[in-house]
Structure 1
Amino acid sequence: MKNRKNRLKSASVALAGLLAATCLSGATASPAAAASCPWPYVCFQDDNGTILTMYKDTGWQTTSARTRTARWVTNARNEDCAWLKFSSGFIDQLRPGQSFGLGSGVVAINITYGCPTSV
């Protein structure tokens, strides 16, 4: 019985580690994706870091079909936030200099002057 509990505990620890690694992998973009987006744009890229679309105007904008196929997003702006609206209706904040992987299509973007200090 003791050996069975140890195996269950080990499996739980391994699963927790796997889940943490999976979540973290989408949090930051590959160096190629982040490095290729010029200021003052928010760039949407494919898995190779190739820029598909770029946005710099403030205010809500509907994204193109090409943007919706992007796998990465990078905010190269210095002080401005971008708000991303996904097809599910969920809205997420992309802070200045931040990049992350996309799991679903972004249907709208709102670039704002400045960025709130807390979310």
Structure 2
Amino acid sequence: MADALNVPSDPSSHPLESRLKNWEQTQFDLKMENLRRLFGTHEPVKRVMELEAVNASLPLYPDVLRRAEVVSGNGAPGSRTDPAREILLGRDGIVDWEDIYGGMDECPLDFHTDLERRNKV
């Protein structure tokens, strides 16, 4: 019964704060559960494997496409945005604040500058 009240462990935080922090993870889990019910166990397993492959390919991305922070290990949504990851998560049609203004201050201006920096030319 105490779980139904959703009382936060920290009395100084608002009850919605924990839900907002875990919003993307909760939505991802719900989507995977719906896929499991609709298509079977193989579909969410396949999607998580594809997301892990995209997460593992992060060092291969040029800095222009790669704006990385922390990605959780299970392929769940994190704070990284790149085209392949957004397509797999179904967020390719959504333009967020971070897509336009986030992380571009330390990014090189073009692809060639990035290659020169990586290859120490």
Structure with the larger strand share: 1
> What TM-score, normalized to structure 2?
0.26
Higher relative contact order (CA 8 A, sep 6+): 1
- Of Structure 1 and Structure 2, the greater helix share is in 2
TM-score by length of 1: 0.26
